[in-house]
A = this chain, B = another copy of it.
Amino acid sequence: MSAIRFEPSSSLKPKPDESNLEFGKTFTDHMFLLDYTEGKGWHDPRIVPYGPLTLDPAAMVFHYGQAIFEGLKAFRSKDNKILLFRPDKNAQRMNVSNDRLSIPEMDEEAFVEYVKALINVDRDWVPSAEGTSLYIRPFIMAVEPCLGVRASKQYVFAIIMSPVGAYYKEGIHPVKISVESHYVRAVRGGTGFAKTAGNYSSGIKAQEEAKHGGFAQVLWLDGKEHAYIEEVGSMNIFFKIDGEVVTPELNGSILAGVTRDSVIRLLNDWGIPFSERRISIQEIYEASQQGKLEEAFGTGTAAVISPVGELHWLEHTMKINEGRTGEISQKIYDTITGIQNGKLEDSYGWNVLVHEDVKV
């Protein structure tokens, strides 16, 4: 890993009001950039003022979507430490995504160092208000100017950061979800397990139609049989059925969420019956009919836990826990956010401290 070049911004922006942060709209003073050229590898790591990227209109990312990303958060603890949540998991997954899209592998330790270095430069941007955090967005895109359909020979890896507010302003809040019966997010053999740009654009239309129908999001079913549950919006999904917590197994079309992994770890430690397996929407419906569908919640970096209060499938409405947040959902939320912001002991070693003396 070569030294990071640092070009400080000559004019620092005012910090936004921490009580009114919109997700992913305000960005910090600097960004991190790293180039890849065939034959030369990843090179020229640098932290520069946040500002526009200049790309040839034939840059492959515009045409063939060869692009992947990650998302993680840093938190400011009460004693003013900056804690980064499980960045090693994002580094690993980035290379899973890279492999699927034929993007060259990146050094995972370097990835974490780059994230830490950028946070350190803009550490004043990590907000301190209850529930706030610094959202970190590393991404890679193909920039070779060429219209041939093949892997690019040039890439840019970038990290940008945005202070974000509490996802739930008035405590966590169960949402209404529509089970998607027409559109499909991913299918085995496709890119569903990778964090690729194209996976997200393909879900927008279903999401818009759900919003139009009064739902917060869609529950995705598998692309093959339209029978098995995959994800909810862009989150993983868990159900508690008759005392057991279940989540769809990672079958090739589901993203391996970092929060999903953390939730599983907690459930196992708490001795709560848990399994990863195929779950049909029919099974969920039957459990609901029998009064055994006790909880349902999405998991993801942005919200941590998003309880499902109501599930609509064809002509059926399934009310879950009378539309209230379940006990386990709340306990998981409190535990993960507590570890993240340093209020609870981090017995898992999930937090990575961002020292002030990171070399740039």
Interface residues, chain A, CB within 8 Å of chain B?
Answer: 23-25, 27, 31, 50-58, 61-67, 69, 99-102, 135, 137, 139, 141-142, 145-151, 158, 160, 162, 182-191, 196-205, 207-208, 223-224, 226, 233-234
With A158-B57, A184-B187, A184-B190 as contacts: A204 and B50 at CB distance below 8 Å: no
> Is there an interface contact between B151 and A135, defined as CB atoms closer than 8 Å?
no
On whether A63 and B53 interact (CB within 8 A), knowing A184-B189, A187-B223, A202-B190, the answer reads no
Contacts of A52 on B, CB cut-off 8 Å?
54-57
Q: Which of A185, A187, A224 counts the most B-chain CB atoms under 10 A from its CB?
A: A187
A201: which of B99, B139, B196, B208 is its contact (CB, 8 Å)? Answer: B196
Contact A139 to B65, CB < 8 A, known contacts A52-B57, A204-B151, A224-B223? no
For the complex, what is the distance from the CA of A224 to the CA of B221, rounded to whole Å?
13
The smallest C-beta distance from A259 to any residue of chain B, in angstroms, reads 16
Closest B residue to A191 by beta carbon equals B202
B200–A63 CB distance below 8 A? yes
Cα–Cα distance between A62 and B53 once the two chains are bound (Å):
11
In order of increasing CB-CB distance, the 9 nearest A-B pairs are: A198-B198, A24-B147, A65-B197, A184-B189, A64-B200, A187-B187, A187-B223, A65-B65, A66-B201
State how many copies of this chain the complex holds. 2
Question: A52-B57, A63-B200, A185-B190 are known contacts; what are 17 more A-B pairs with Cβ within 8 Å?
Answer: A23-B147, A24-B148, A27-B57, A62-B67, A65-B197, A65-B200, A65-B201, A101-B201, A101-B202, A142-B201, A149-B233, A184-B190, A191-B202, A197-B198, A198-B198, A223-B224, A224-B224
A160 with B57, Cβ < 8 A, contacts A62-B139, A65-B201 known = yes
Q: Is the pair B57, A55 in contact by a Cβ cutoff of 8 Å?
A: no
Which of chain B's residues have a CB closer than 8 A to the CB of A100? 205
Q: Which of B139, B141, B202 is close to A198, meaning CB atoms less than 8 Å apart? A: B202
Q: How far is the CA of A162 from the CA of B146 in the complex (A)?
A: 10
**CB distance B198 to A63 under 8 Å?**
no
Cβ of A191: which chain B residues have Cβ within 8 Å of it? 198, 201-202
Question: Closest CB-CB distance, A4 to chain B, in whole Å?
Answer: 17
CB contacts (< 8 Å) of A23 on chain B: these are 147-148
